[in-house]
Structure 1
Amino acid sequence: MPLSPSRIFEDRVREHLESRNFDEMRSNSGVDSFRSHIGPHSRVLLTDRAIWMLSLDELRELPKYLCDLTLKSAMAEFWEDHVQYWAWTGSMSALLRILYSRNKSYEQLTRLGTDILRDLNVLIQIALTMKRQELRVVASGGKLDKFDANPSYNAITIDSFRLVTRLGTSTLEGLLRRRCRQMGVDGVLHDLYSNGSEEFDVSEYAGGGKRVYIKGALKLWHEEEAEEATASALDSIRNFDQEKQETFRALFDEYAEEIESEMNNKSDFYEFIRCLRNPTAHSEFITHSLGSVFLNLCCLVFWDAFPIGFFEEYRENTLKMISNDVHHNAPFGHRPSDFYPVEIM
């Protein structure tokens, strides 16, 4: 009997991690301690299928393997598989934005409005700048200088994952607030759900009501809203096991002890994100490596909200738009073909 796709992915992650040389673990306070491996020969999971071939449930399961590749590797690595996942998410979310702009009733399918999808699209484009720069170098035969004549583009490319890490948590919160029916876009629980809300780590909101913050929003999504395949992926991501903790301590160096002292449950990754949210957003410290994890979670919210009955149709429509370069007046940078396949712009 052939192995299921999830079992294949699981085996590939395990074999990959076993093959890595963990004696090369290095630390520099987490500022630049991450390594990207992008290119056609740098795939761990998608070695025999293109990302667009995956089913909706596979797209919901993939982030747990992507997170393992980062959180269980010595250098918090990310690979071409990550890039392909982000790019395909951007392409499909761009299609939904086009549909929403033409018929507002489509927003009811996902509860994700055009504003938050635009934020997700921008976050993905920032993450893809590193890949596009690599393509430009390859296309030049290695003769292209690392720096482009455009200083704005250079700054964004060099610090792309600094930006992704910084913006990732706020975008994730915005997506979760729209995905979870129990709260509004301001994070305040609707009256119907306010009783017993303490388990979701709420606080009193100055404007009235009880507001849910990032840990509670993740927990609410995971336990109350997530589709089955998504919930299974989140079970794995939430488990902050010893392997992940070892990577975290090496990357964060002197900050690790400070963060751990703030954590009420050291084996809960949601608690870890809670302790990182404000220091990351307010420049107390930054670790580029977690940007990929935050972006994986943002993409997972998108796929979890995707209406399953429309998936095959919308996938075919997206592929046709990419093939024919049709964009229905969507702005440059926000069209399906601007994300997937990742090309030089």
Structure 2
Amino acid sequence: MRDSSRQILDEKVDEFIKTIDEGNLVKDEGTENILGLEGYHLLPGDLPLHEFYMDELHYFSKCLIDSALKTHTNAKTTDFSAYWGWTAALVSHTERNQDFERYQEILRDYYYLVHSALVSERHSRLVRENHDLHMTLSRLNPSLEEVTRGSGLPLAATFGFSVLEGLLKRRCSDLSPDTGINVWSGFEKLIDDSDVSPVVKEVLQTIDDLDRYDRQVLERKMSGVPDLSDKDSLLWLVKEQRNYNVHGEGSTQAIGSLVLTLCSLVLLDELATCNYQETRTEVLQDMQHSQSTPMIHSKSPRAFYPVEVL
């Protein structure tokens, strides 16, 4: 990791939290105030995500989670979409060239979650730029607007837990195929796993420290939060959210962002065993060459990561 990158990212997150909570961008309207802040980015302007080193990508997951859980609103910047999309682009390219056999089934579900999370943002951009297209899409039945509203983060807050558990089970090298696992026990095993990146271990331990967060804010951002007075683990709290969300008791957008970011972190840790710089170069070349292709395959890197950022 570059010496200055961690400091820059931490400063950007602190600035974001301060700006949001002082009401400079939004007013605090509760847990369902979900905002796409297009004019605000955690990423430094001169360092786009696809130019990050691998350990910087690992560390950025902590920054995203802090921005989601430390503010008094559910403000969400487009950095989340970039992180999920770039991870999916890397994985979709790598699985064609590396041994990802044990991830094969679960990757299909991960791609589905990422596509669902991106569709609302892409739909909004399309209709904003093309009025005629907006009118055409608005006449579709079933309603595309309702589909985009109901997919994405609400889906990640429910179905995403199963995907996260599946990824953890495959990433933990000492688990047999029939071993049961949950989010908390899975990340505990990951932290102790000798194959896991030191930066990922540090990030997980930092994220897990419940004392870093305002517990009253967490109670507003997550539904059905149990008594936290004697707890010290955020990942335990995430595990407790699983059944509450999966069985339809309630869901918040903060959970969807958190779960999909953790899914991406697990996959990025797996990718750390590959030659990342070589993979990164190949993915960017693939995306540039495909710009002239009218049709985009659903698993091509360009399907996940916007070409216009290159």
Same fold (TM > 0.5) = yes
* 2:134 paired residue number: 144
Match runs of 1:52-131 below 5 Å: 52-99=50-97, 106-107=98-99, 112-131=102-121
Superposition RMSD on alpha carbons, in Å? Answer: 2.8
* 1:155 paired residue number: 146
SS of the counterpart of 2:107?
helix
Which of 273, 290, 295 matches 1:325? 290
**Aligned CA distance change for structure 1 residues 147 and 184 (closer, same or farther; 3 Å):** farther
Greater gyration radius: 1
Q: How many residues align?
A: 300
* 2:181 paired residue number: 212
* 2:19 paired residue number: 19
Residue 280 of structure 1 and its aligned partner are, at CA, apart by 0.9
1:312-345: CA deviation from partner (whole Å, max 9, x where unpaired): 111111111111119xxx98311111111167xx
1:201-236: CA deviation from partner (whole Å, max 9, x where unpaired): xxxxxxxxxx33221111111232531111111122
Q: Is the 8 A contact 1:136 1:144 kept in 2?
A: yes
- List runs of 5+ in structure 2 lacking aligned partners: none
Q: Is the 8 A contact 2:287 2:307 kept in 1?
A: no
* 2:205 paired residue number: 235
- List runs of 5+ in structure 1 lacking aligned partners: 100-105, 189-210
1:47-92: CA deviation from partner (whole Å, max 9, x where unpaired): 2211110001111111000001100111122111111111111111
Q: Is the 8 A contact 1:91 1:339 kept in 2?
A: yes
**Aligned CA distance change for structure 1 residues 169 and 175 (closer, same or farther; 3 Å):** same
* 2:263 paired residue number: 298
* 2:162 paired residue number: 170
**Aligned CA distance change for structure 1 residues 137 and 280 (closer, same or farther; 3 Å):** same
Counterpart residue type for residue 294 of structure 1: V
Q: Is the 8 A contact 1:264 1:271 kept in 2?
A: no
Q: Is the 8 A contact 1:325 1:337 kept in 2?
A: yes
Which of 233, 236, 248 matches 1:283? 248
Q: Is the 8 A contact 1:26 1:250 kept in 2?
A: no
SS of the counterpart of 2:29?
coil
Q: In 2, Cα distance between the equivalents of 1:97 and 1:26?
A: 42
**Aligned CA distance change for structure 1 residues 141 and 152 (closer, same or farther; 3 Å):** closer
**Aligned CA distance change for structure 1 residues 234 and 75 (closer, same or farther; 3 Å):** same
Q: Percent identity?
A: 23
* 1:246 paired residue number: 216
* 2:46 paired residue number: 48
Residue 20 of structure 1 and its aligned partner are, at CA, apart by 2.0
Counterpart residue type for residue 7 of structure 1: Q
SS of the counterpart of 2:284?
helix
Which of 325, 334, 337 matches 2:299? 334
TM-score, normalised with respect to structure 2: 0.87
